[in-house]
Amino acid sequence: MMIEVEGVQHRFGAKGEGLLALDRIDMQIQVGEMVSFIGPSGCGKSTLLNIIGGMTEPSEGQVSVAGSKIQGPLPRKISYVFQESALLPWATVLDNIKVGLEFQGVDHQMREERAVKALTSVGLMKFAHAYPQQLSGGMRQRVALARALSLETEVLLMDEPFAALDEQTRMVFGEDLSRLLARERKTIVLVTHSLAEAVFLSDRIFVFTSRPGRIKAVLDVNETHPRDPAFMVSERFATLRNKLYELLREEVLATMREDMPGLRP
């Protein structure tokens, strides 16, 4: 088992008070598995991701990664890819990757080797000496992924990394991620709002209720990696996506009614 979440609750505000964001979350994620968290806005998906990554301490419960109880960030075990690429504009693509390795304490020669390897794995080695402003949004996100890969952690946490990209770029990026999973068997947790993205990429999909977030259902995809683009136009893909929509619709409506009390049921 790579990730174990046991009885996690989280409140924002004073301890024991304030807004309940997550309520009694239990889950187990296997080594080399890719899972998605999907649910209405404000249901605690990103909060749970941050708890797994050691960025947020839960109000109750605990998380273990590779057998170690999470008590803070574990940069040698867990890396992040965020919604924004967060690249340093004054540094080249290669240097942006090496900065992360420097913080990890990797020596100079090894930083160069690992940065080159990571850039090659995402197909961007020829842009190693370009600057972020010279790249498209999709290319910048590839650099962010390469930076995370260069850290060679067992776990990769991704918080809506494709949200700012157009649909076509998102799906090509997704194909790359599926090939990466097949090649390196990293354990990946993805927060997304895209039903198609969740079905195409995931081994399992954790569906969250409206706030406070609970696990409503777990949807098994049962499709091997790397995923063939033909899967996306298959009847099975459509069936899974429709099932996911059915599970989410009631929760999204509940969130809308809470945010807009005058909304008709």
Domains, in order of start, for the chain: 3-77+154-259 (3.40.50.300), 84-152 (no CATH)
Six token digits for residue 27: 């889950």
Read off the pLDDT of each residue in 101-120 and give the average, rounded to a whole number: 88
pLDDT of residue 76: 85
The sign of the CA dihedral 156, 136, 201, 240 is positive
Distance CA 84, CA 98 (A): 18
Please identify which residue in the block is written with the tokens 């924004």.
Answer: 84
φ and ψ of 196, to 5 deg: -65, -40
Per-residue b or e along 223-255, where b marks 16 or more CB atoms closer than 10 Å to that residue's CB:
bebebeeebbeeeebeebbebbeebbeebeebb
pLDDT digits (tens, 9 = 90+) for 39-79: 998 899 999 999 999 999 999 999 999 988 998 888 888 99
Mean of all residue pLDDT scores within the chain: 88
Q: What is the pLDDT of residues 4-20, one digit of tens each?
A: 999 999 998 766 567 89
Query: Could you tell me the pTM of the whole model?
Result: 0.90
**Where residue 253 falls among pLDDT bands split at 50, 70, 90?**
confident
Q: What average pLDDT does the segment 30-34 reach?
A: 93
CB 22 within 8 Å of CB 47 = yes
Q: Using CA atoms in the order 114, 120, 122, 127, what is the torsion angle rounded to 10 degrees?
A: 100
